[in-house]
Structure 1
């Protein structure tokens, strides 16, 4: 009888371990595809089946990576804290450092050092990026010592991240030393150094380096054009733009286009019409532009915006950053800061601000009518579709071209407009 019970327990353990491995494989696929909804369903299934209560800590590791990949640092941190210290490895710390607020990321990096965990090039790059965002020169200098100590000074990406820290702090001399120590600087290395010169020294110094570059990417051209516009050299900006498009075959990106429009505005050649969304509440017209903070209830609106974005994300919303073009980044790890900035710009679009004001100012379930003077962007269209289902509202948006009636997560235009 005792053997029979032991055999049954052993079979159950083997079965659970096998199931946990299948779950881990599926969760990894969800993380790679940033597929939050199926990932959450797997999380729920793992909880119901008791997999998370078993000593399968690798399953919690997989869930941690999923939530970090889907930009949900709170959920990732909660799972991280549930994993015993003896089962946390460098990969778990690196994953969390990538997704957390810069201050929290640096605290985790310090904790890794104190625990004696292995510090590889990936975690150093992620920590340096956090350092650049947080703006701590002391930590940045200490990390430079670590880079030399562990022999990472020949790693191209790490040197670029280190240069970026010094450029952000305005320590151009230190950035130049790092640049000169790179045996064969990549186009990214040249571009980071170029950005520092244009920003902290002079656009003329930047142009000298720009002309010396053996290869130029879209970012390098944009840095120079933005530098010219920012210093009032509109003629030089237009000439460089012409060479960029017709001489080198690069297309316009969002930042370059904004800079050129700014140059046109400075020269009096164009009048820029800002996007504006309007909504009537209690017979009064309320108007919003992107990033608007002029409304008397601004604080409440942005609090509602944070709550709405959180609920939309949980319902499957993924910011469409192509609507707010991120220039020059092909490596996601190198662009985490820029991506967050682009997402924040998307969240602050006038349509979303008007929607938030309508949601907080009208009775639950009542329809909302929003007017946009320009065409609604794809990201706002997707967000409002999901919002109509999450908040159980009919939301009508009249843009420059047509009416969009959003109900139950769908739009009357069938996503074609």
Structure 2
């Protein structure tokens, strides 16, 4: 697999030099400063390519993560054709610049969501964590969303109430900031009233309505992606469960199968995120990799350890609930199939995702989940798994 590294642009405190020193050859990035729904111009794309190439480290822009989908598309409101047209033009411009893989998500309002960004790990390191009782405390007692307490056990509600009653105003502000932290780059952040207003735009939306809006988007853009040689790959929900009353439609194997059937074209593909899918108790991630192998165009490799109540924590890359060796084996097997079939572009780009904050990462202020040394460790461990498997298995 092509070893890649997420970089948030020139303002990222983790530099391109760090990516190269970690052993990556490809960069995963986006034009975060461009508003949603606006065309990515050839000039902006070439500027980013030059920023990656100019240090002379041998790095290339390998994957676009992400070309965002405008919120109007997810809601299905207004005249969407101009937004679709701009998205298609951005795809054409990216293809003209040599880009072939575009990751995107269809999560309403929020991207990945955690309640704690500095959960302690033995030895003084920290990790990202989703504590169900803190999420419920925010949704039920701070956001005061009607019906937020429904579907949760008495034990979780009691813990949520206890957390809320003991929390200071700073604790509550920190929880809001943590929940917003999954929105990288120049994305909107919301205060509590602003989040209430945004959620109101989705009030009463059923999962089937969100699926219909995704299908409309795919029908509008996949033919262009296929024409210009770009593979679009949807990222799973993170976490894979409804949040704040919002529907989630990219959480299970059946969800992925339904999405790929909406527009049955190879350009309509999947980002295999082992952490997002792995947080769902019913998902066998290596089995999903084998099931959807021919439509996986990008992989996020990370691990989580789940708690019985639905909470989870980012684990070491090889130490969580997902059998990472079996998952890497499935992806290497698919690469071998593509190579034997004569594909020119047979490699699956992968990146280590959501590393622990360790050693000199601590206190450095990198994007949450994206420290230098924690990801270096993850990439090294994954590289070791790949090297060992390739030494003993006849992938050909």
With normalisation by structure 1, the TM-score equals 0.28
Larger relative contact order, structure 1 or 2 (CA cutoff 8 Å, min sep 6): 2
Higher strand share: 2
The structure with more radius of gyration: 1
With normalisation by structure 2, the TM-score equals 0.29
